Amino acid sequence: MLTALSIANIVLIERLDLEFEAGLGVLTGETGAGKSILLDALGLALGMRADTALVRQGADRAQVTASFAPPASGTALAALLADNDIALDPGEPLLIRRTLKADGGSRAFVNDQPCSAALLREVGGHLVEIHGQHDDRGLLAPAGHRALLDAYARADTGAVAAAHAAWRAAEERLAAARAAIAEATRDREWLEHCVAELRALAPQPGEEAELAEARAAMQKGERIAGDLGAIMEAFDGSAGGPALLRGAARRLDRLAGDHPLLAEALASLDRAIIDADEAETKLHEAARAMEYDPDRLEAAETRLFELRAMARKHGVQPDELAALTDDLAARLDAIEGGSAGLAKLEAAVAESAAAYTHAATALSDQRAKAAARLDAAVAGELAPLKLDAARFRTLVERLPAERWGADGIDRVEFLIATNPGAPFAPLAKIASGGELSRFILALKVALAEEGGADTIIFDEIDRGVGGAVASAIGERLARLAGAGKQLLAVTHSPQVAAKGAAHFVIAKSSEGTVTRTSVHALDEAGRREEIARMLSGAEVTEEARAQAERLLEVAA
């Protein structure tokens, strides 16, 4: 709901601050006073085209700020703001600001966060509907008719959307499986060759490192074999170092008791024998580990080179060859078992398609029944609005299967025929300006609380009518405002003006060469005088004042 509007330097409006409440508010004034300027300013704030002609002469820029009641959580508007990272402070109004430079260029802000004009239009579409002589928004857009009918029918469209999503997901899984099998089938010979080659090689994780280590050890053994043999000869036989040490120890053992130093020497010799034995053991172990066997070395190198060559061929590391074997084998197996898998996926697609068709058909039937009720409700509103010969029809048309979607299987559009025997056609193509506004009012009254923005503006909906028809228009505007909507009506009809809960008068004044447009909220006395002016013209008579009093009493 629009709560406040601030305008600066828009055409004839130098500065204007207005506050609004729920219910029906009417705006009146002399022809040319500037009612259209007020709507143009609001339109600018809602994202309409930024025309530099709107900037007041002599000003470098214009600005419009509109304040709205915060949107309830869970609404489409709240979701739109959240998707665009626009914060909503609890209990704080939603502020929209638009600035327009005289030399071109405009900027838009939502809650003081910069936004694009496209986003501003989208946000504005959720906040306000403007219906007038050149209406191109709101109920004239067929794209929104289906949602309005669904709201009127109180239809649960979520089940259809979920069924459609499940159907599409099943189709995507089937398409992916078919593509994978087709790719595998094209590569079948290559896969068979690769799997056979890899299985023949039988690579094992970690095998390359073990082979490389063994090969390096044997290559070192080959290089140091001569030196190692000479060293080991010093340990072998009766002339070897360990044997000589043991002989010396036996002789020294017989003499050790003759002097303490001999005993110490014997202990050192015993330790030397132990170290020599340990060294000999290590030498033999090293010799065995680094034993150079040309056949073993060749076998290790051959295996190592085969592993590395196979890894290069497939663009993987040698340790990944075993996993690659399993992967290629699985792809090959998928070709054999693919038919059975496809059959299950095809059955899932058929099942989900049937579930979607069932849900969408039920929704379509619900729409058709709601369309008949809506047509009857609108028809009941047309005669009092001097549209007796007109007919209204809600078209619910089955779409071709390729156009079925999350919204169902129907195309919905509101159509009218203004004369007997004339064909039905879209609202905007047939109705004149005044007729169009009255059609929209009839439809809005029939739809009541179902869908649409909380703030609705009707621009001169009473053009070309008066008397009982104008009174009927006023009654319906008041009824629609009482259904939880905020309505603002620009009117020349005293019958409509009398129905307003709030009344604003728009006036134009001149001081020398400076012309200004102003807007004032009227009290009860001011309302009577303004409605009397609307009844009598330039000179307000007592009779007009009395008639205005009667209109206000009837409206109350």
State what percent of residues in the chain have pLDDT above 90: 32
Q: Which of 238-247, 363-372, 493-502, 506-515 has the lowest mean pLDDT?
A: 238-247
DSSP symbols for 25-83: EEEEE-TTSSHHHHHHHHHHHTT----GGGBPTT-SEEEEEEEEPPPPTTSHHHHHHHH
Q: Is the Cβ–Cβ distance between 381 and 446 less than 8 Å?
A: yes
pLDDT of residue 96: 94
What band does 313 get if pLDDT is binned at 50, 70 and 90? very high
pLDDT of residue 110: 92
- Provide the token pair at 143: 């794209």
- In this prediction, residues 113-131 reach a mean pLDDT of 89
Q: Above 70 in pLDDT, residue 140?
A: yes
Q: CA–CA separation, 165 vs 5, rounded Å? A: 43
pLDDT of residue 339: 65
Model pLDDT for residues 406-446, shown as the tens digit of each residue: 999 999 999 988 888 888 888 767 656 667 777 877 887 88
Q: Above 80 in pLDDT, residue 169?
A: yes
What band does 24 get if pLDDT is binned at 50, 70 and 90? very high
Q: Above 80 in pLDDT, residue 355?
A: yes
Helix (H) or strand (E) holding 96: strand 94-101
Higher pLDDT, 286 or 65: 65
- Provide the token pair at 450: 């179902």
What band does 301 get if pLDDT is binned at 50, 70 and 90? confident
Higher pLDDT, 130 or 398: 398
Helices and strands counted in the chain (H then E): 17, 15
pLDDT of residue 115: 92
What band does 34 get if pLDDT is binned at 50, 70 and 90? confident
What value does the mean pLDDT of the chain take?
A: 85
Q: How far is CA 47 from CA 76, 108, 136, in A?
A: 18, 8, 14
pLDDT of residue 221: 65
Amino acid at 163: A
- In this prediction, residues 281-290 reach a mean pLDDT of 74
Q: Which of 25, 132, 39, 32 is nearest to 527 (CA)?
A: 25
- In this prediction, residues 156-165 reach a mean pLDDT of 93
- In this prediction, residues 85-98 reach a mean pLDDT of 88
Query: Which stretches of 72-143 are DSSP H helices?
Result: 76-83, 117-127
Model pLDDT for residues 441-477, shown as the tens digit of each residue: 788 788 865 656 788 888 887 776 777 888 888 888 8
- In this prediction, residues 26-34 reach a mean pLDDT of 81
- In this prediction, residues 122-134 reach a mean pLDDT of 79
3-state SS assignment for residue 114: strand
Q: CA–CA separation, 96 vs 124, rounded Å? A: 9
Q: Which of 424, 422, 420, 438 is nearest to 395 (CA)?
A: 424
Q: Above 70 in pLDDT, residue 77?
A: yes
DSSP symbols for 485-537: -EEEEE-S-HHHHTT-SEEEEEEEEEETTEEEEEEEE--HHHHHHHHHHHHH-
Q: CA–CA separation, 20 vs 2, rounded Å? A: 6
Higher pLDDT, 515 or 123: 123
pLDDT of residue 136: 45
Higher pLDDT, 378 or 272: 378
- Domain locations in the chain as residue ranges: 189-333
Long-range contacts of 508-514 (CB under 8 A, 24+ apart): 508/12, 508/29, 508/30, 508/32, 508/33, 508/34
pLDDT of residue 264: 83
pLDDT of residue 60: 92
pTM above 0.75, yes or no: no
Model pLDDT for residues 249-270, shown as the tens digit of each residue: 788 778 777 788 878 888 888 8
- In this prediction, residues 346-373 reach a mean pLDDT of 95
Q: Which of 44, 35, 31 is nearest to 13 (CA)?
A: 35
The position carrying tokens 């506004």 is 437
pLDDT of residue 67: 94
Angle 112-86-457 from CA coordinates, rounded to 5° = 75
Q: CA–CA separation, 120 vs 46, rounded Å? A: 6
- In this prediction, residues 154-167 reach a mean pLDDT of 93
Q: CA–CA separation, 172 vs 348, rounded Å? A: 11
Chain mean position to CA 132: 33
What are the residues whose beta carbons fall under 8 Å from the beta carbon of 194, sequence distance 6 or more? 314, 328
Burial class (CB in 10 A: 0-12, 13-18, 19+), 212: middle
